């Protein structure tokens, strides 16, 4: 039975090496424990039980570590950090035509669902391709 655990170990290790995510590492640990158990007993039920228990315990023990490794904080970089900022309309925006907005020192082509005059303040709602989607803000709404 030791040979079977070695074969399972090789298969699981190959799968783990072929993927970027941690897929089978917990089962590899369980396989090692079962292999060691197979050196002392020929009872397949005990070996499979050890495999399941050790795999489950290793999953529980490494769950938080894996979560920290896989979870990356997304920090807004260049263009996406302007969402939610206030800009100034430099070229009138209408339903049929694109306008222009200056935000964070840069000029952007802008679209809106309403007509917005030059020098109006707008909030940046989203970025659609290379155009800003904006909405006019009233003087009392400025944050």
Is 100 in a helix, a strand, or coil? Answer: strand
- pLDDT of amino acid 24: 86
pLDDT at 129: 81
Question: Residue 7: what pLDDT?
Answer: 95
Instruction: Name all domains of the chain by residue range, CATH numbers in brackets.
Output: 2-70 (no CATH), 79-137 (2.40.50.140)
Cα–Cα nearest to 78, from 110, 119, 108, 100: 108
Separation between Cα atoms, residue 1 and residue 35, nearest integer Å: 8
**For every one of its 143 residues, what pLDDT tens digit does the chain have, with 9 covering 90 and above?**
889 999 999 999 999 899 877 778 899 999 999 999 999 999 999 999 999 999 999 988 887 776 776 666 666 566 678 888 999 999 999 887 899 999 988 899 999 989 999 999 999 998 888 899 999 997 666 55
Cα 46 to Cα 33, 42, 49, 87, distances in angstroms: 11, 8, 5, 68
| Six-digit token string for 56 | 């489950």
Spatial distance between the Cα atoms of 136 and 3, rounded to a whole number of angstroms: 71
């Amino acid at each position: 039975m030791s040979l079977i655990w070695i074969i399972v170990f090789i298969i699981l290790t190959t799968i783990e090496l072929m993927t970027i995510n941690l897929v089978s590492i917990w089962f590899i640990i369980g396989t090692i424990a079962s292999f060691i158990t197979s050196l002392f007993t020929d009872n397949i039920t005990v070996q499979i039980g050890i495999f399941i228990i050790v795999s489950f315990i290793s999953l529980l023990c490494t769950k938080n570590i894996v979560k920290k490794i896989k979870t990356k904080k997304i920090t807004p970089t260049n263009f996406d950090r302007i969402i939610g900022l206030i800009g100034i309309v430099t070229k009138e925006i209408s339903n049929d035509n694109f306008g222009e907005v200056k935000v964070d020192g840069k000029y952007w082509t802008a679209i809106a669902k309403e007509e917005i005059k030059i020098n109006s303040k707008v909030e940046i709602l989203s970025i659609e391709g290379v155009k800003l989607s904006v909405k006019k803000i009233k003087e009392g709404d400025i944050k």
